[in-house]
Each structure stands twice: as C-alpha cells, then as structure tokens.
Chains A and B, each alone.
Chain A
Amino acid sequence: MVDDPDVGREDAAHLEGCADCQTLFKSISDDALSVASMLAVPDARVDVTRGYDRVRSARASSPRLGFRFPALMPRSRPMVLALAATFAAIAILAVVAQDFKTNIQPNSVTPVPITVADMQALTLLGNYGTVTWTKPPNLQVVSSAADAASVAGGMQPPVVTNLPKGVFPNITYAAMPQAVAVFTFSSDKAAAAAGQQGKTLPKMPAGMDGAKLTVTVGPAVGEIFGDLKQGSSASDISLPLIVGKSAAPTATSTQVTVKQMEDVILAQPGISPELKAAIKAIGNPSSTLPIPIPVAFTTSRTVTVQGVQGVALGDNTGVGSGVVWVKNGVVYAVAGPIKQSDAIDIANNLK
C-alpha cells in the first residue's frame, strides 16, 4: 500500500528501515510504474458546464424513476419472478383467509402453495368490483435510515449485523407510508365477467352487492444491499439483498361474513383445488398470515426465527432464498441471492 497517498506514517517509517521490504517495494513499484505507463493517456479536456447542460436536458426528457429493479441475470429470473408473485399475492390471500368483520393482527405465518393459474385467476378480482386506493402505495427511495423512518411514520429500518461475504455493502433505503385499498364488490360487474366467460354466477349471499373490503398495508421500511445500477455494463454484479419490515396487513369488511366472501372469491374460474384446500386448512385465520409459495419455482419449510415461527424459501445453492416471519404485529422479510442458511442467520441477528 506504500504507493497509496493515504498510507500511514508507520508503514512509511517501517519501509525506510527494512531492506527486504525495500527490495519488495522496488519490484512492486516498478511493476506499478510499468502498468501506469501502459495505461497513460493524454488528459481529457473537460467542459463541466457544457456537460452539465447536456445531462440536464437528457434528465428532462427521461424523468427519474425513483426506484428501478436491476436487470436480471437469466438464471435468476424465475426465482425473482416467483418472489415478486409471492409478495404481490400476500395481501390478496391474507384477505381471503381473515375474518373481515374484525381488525386482524396476524402473529404467525404459514406457507400456501400457489400456481401460476391461481395468480392469473386472483388478478381477475378487479372484474368483480372496484378497487380504490384511499391512500395509494408510495414507495420512496431515500439516502438515510432517518429519512426512511420519517417516510414510514417513525418505523425504524432493521439493522443487519452480519452481512454474508459477497454481498455488495452499499445500502439504499426504501420506505412506504401506510397504504389503504378498498374493494367494493359489484354484482353487476361480477355477472358481466362471468358472462364473458360463458359462465353464470354462483348464488350470491344477501348483502354481497356493495360489500366493502378495506385492506391496510404498511407502513414499511427496508434496506437494499447491492448495486442498483445493474445492466449490460457490469457482468460481475448480482441481485440485491433486501431486508425489510412492514406493519402486518389488516383487513375489515362490511355486509358479509368471511365465509361468504371466501366462497365467492374461491368460486372464480381458474383457482386450483390445491389452493382452495390450503386456504381452507389454515387453522386460525384471524392470527395466521398466509405466505403464498409458487409451487413450480421454490421450496419452503417452517423455521424458528427470532423465537417465532417463520417460513424459509429457496435453498442453500446461493441462487436465491428468503425468510419471512411475523413478530409483535410486524412482518419481516429477508430475501436475496444468498444461501438459505445465511438468510436465516441474518434474520436471527437482525436488530
């Protein structure tokens, strides 16, 4: 390091009195000079103001995204798509499994196998009513933990105490204030949707038309470890590690019972018998958050994390894994291109 301008005085003093190190230094120094000479080029003539003007006009025509997921390596795409589908489905399935008449506060998680067909069928929910965001989701990328906590209504980001080797240590913080969606069931829309598929609606319970389902998600806050600027320019960088937490989703309903709403949703064409059976098998729907696991892409098992039961996804190949658990009304998740054992280790040491 003696060629480093930041080198300490102790190293320099040692070098002055050590013949062996002087010989080694000369060899290293000659090599470094030789390579520096190879890489020498005429200095670039830089016009900072003109450069800034060009960048500013390009920024105006290409507004910032706020947050962008990195380009994915081909071998990782199925896993990431599976995880994305998983998290997208959590709110829907949570709603299916809970008692809509009461504010729910799940305190444990359970894996539920889900297929691509199930996902497609569940996205048709919009054909059965109207979804209105009374507080739209507003994910923000910020530069500090304090800013993240400020966005998330005071919720502090989790602190990772042991990062596995190979994870890019730069942290980007993301935070989301509480978001609230209201789904209003419409018998007319449901009948029209069924008609388009050549089917007739099953018999509806009284009060189903106009029944409202209010789902609250967040606030949430997380840390993203990795180089978010990925793409063709860098072949040696990988997917980020995401460590996040969110207030457990809550749901309330009007006019109908949980059993009635569940029957209507599960009666949609395309929902697999496996998913129906899994949802119906959840022992205590008022306290259990179902974690949908895409059956074709990954495996899951229950694990003990921070003294509570959680679900671990993926495997120990390092391609991708994650852990999800609920503690004191907060859902935690660790996911990334790491071994499952590393994910569990991070989870257990989270502060």
Chain B
Amino acid sequence: MNLGARRMSNVRADDEAFEALFRSEYARVVGIANRVLADSHEAEDVAQDVFIDFHRLHSASADYAPAWLHRAAAHASLNRLRGARRRLRREVAQAAEEGERTMDPQKQVEVDEDRRRVREALARLAPKPAAVLVLRASGLSYAEVAGALGVGIGQIGTMLRRAEVALRKEVTRGTSD
C-alpha cells in the first residue's frame, strides 16, 4: 500500500472509531451536561462542542477517551452554568416546561424554584467538588468518576461526602440570603 492510500485508510479508520465513540458516549455526555444545566437543548450543544474539541485533539481509539469526555462535559457545562447564572431562572423554567408539562402548576413553581437554587449553589462550588457530584449523579461508577477526574478511586467516597456537605451548605446559604 502506498503512503497516500495508507493515509486514506488511517483517516477512514479514525472516522469510524470516532463515530463508534460518539454513538456509545453521546447520551451519557449529554446526560452529564443536562444534570448541570437542566436544559436538554443546551446540554446537547455542550456535548457536541465537547466531541468536536475531542476530535481536534485526540485519537478516538485512545483508552482515556470516555474519561476525557466525561470530565470535559462536567467542566464545560459547569463553566456555562457559572456564566449564565443570571439567565438561570428562565432556563430552568424552560426545562421544566418541556419535561414536566403534566405537573400541577403550584407544584411546578416549587420545583422550578428548588432547581434554580440548587444550580446557583452548584455554580458557587469549587470545580472539583461540583464535578464529582455531577458525574456521580449522572450514573458514573466510582471508578469512572475517578478516571474522569484523574484521582484515585479510594478518594472518591471522601470527595463525594465533602461535596455533598458543601452543596447543602451552599443551598442553605442561598435560601437564607
């Protein structure tokens, strides 16, 4: 096989690997972003940006690809949340409108308000505690959370406990302000 043909073959293999990676991880990456943003449309935007960035930098067959995507999804969505606090009320309301149309209106108002307070509190947490909470709440195992954050699996339990305490504290602080 000449050099040109080999390159074409490599490109094809890389494209196929990327598509396979996308199909296996996209829903999970969207899920992580949605957990943070409470907006499925915005979560899809974040997830697609994450995949595009990954493609530009890495081989889709890299062992660390899922861990990288999970971490990037958490950080990118948390960053967007921090930059969008002022828009939070509208966004959360929009998510509720699309996801829970059958709910009682009074109950809906309460859910919206709780969700807004929690996201504001999440945005105030340091990046790592916020990420560990979001990844775990998105269904990742301890090993997957550890892989995504580049820490030992033995640290995850402690990190989660501390992050949970920090989040509840921030939610309480936000309520009493």
Contacts and interface: CB of A to CB of B under 8 A. Distances in A.
Interface of A: 1, 4-6, 28, 31-32, 34-36, 38-46, 48, 51-52, 54-55, 58-59, 62-65, 67-68, 141-143, 168-172, 227-229, 232-236
A68 B54 CA distance: 11
B68 A227 contact: yes
A41 B35 contact: yes
Range, interface on chain B: 35 or more
Nearest to A166: B150
- Most B Cβ at <10 Å: residue of A41, A55, A59, A227: A41
30 contacts: A1-B157, A4-B143, A6-B142, A31-B161, A31-B168, A34-B164, A35-B164, A35-B167, A36-B137, A38-B171, A39-B137, A41-B34, A42-B95, A42-B99, A43-B34, A43-B99, A46-B27, A46-B44, A52-B22, A52-B26, A59-B55, A64-B55, A143-B58, A143-B61, A143-B63, A170-B150, A171-B64, A233-B78, A234-B72, A236-B127
A6 B76 contact: no
Contacts of A141: 57-59
B59 A38 contact: no
A39 B111 CA distance: 11
B23 A41 contact: no
B128 A236 contact: yes
A229 B23 contact: no
A51 B40 CA distance: 12
A51 B64 CA distance: 22
Interface of B: 19, 22-23, 26-27, 30-31, 34-35, 38, 40, 43-44, 47-48, 51-59, 61-64, 67-68, 71-72, 75-76, 78-79, 95-96, 98-100, 114-115, 118, 122, 126-128, 133-134, 137, 141-143, 150, 156-157, 160-161, 164-165, 167-168, 171
Contacts, number: 146
Given A143-B63, A229-B53, A39 B134 contact: yes
A153 to B, nearest CB: 15
